[in-house]
Amino acid sequence: MFVRHSPLPDQHDRVGQQAVREYLLTEPLEDIWRVWLDFEKWQAPPERRKMDKDFNNVIPSKDLADILRRRPDLKTFVQSVIVQAVERKIATLRSKQK
């Protein structure tokens, strides 16, 4: 049986950290985007927050900056993800005001 869970490894899992790093450096950008959109479809907000937290633990901002320097085309993906997160936050705040 297939169980969906965060694909990110535990922060202490060095092999997993390297796997995520290699994935971001080598996977076609279109495939990364498709996987991201799939996560957006089936993950509830608490699951998304957990995955974001797990990602930040596995790939700290310093490492992400290094990955983006090595793979500049990934910057557009990261920018899109940030815009989505901001739009979600704005929508949440607006719904709380009503």
| pTM summary value | 0.71
What is the amino acid identity at position 93?
L
pLDDT digits (tens, 9 = 90+) for 53-65: 888 888 889 999 9
Strands (E), the chain: none
Nearest to 23 by CA among 63, 62, 80, 50: 63
Spans of all domains in the chain: 14-97
Q: How confident is the model at residue 7 (pLDDT cuts 50, 70, 90)?
A: low
Contact between 33 and 23 under an 8 Å Cβ cutoff? The reply is no
**CA dist., res. 60 & res. 53, Å (int):** 10
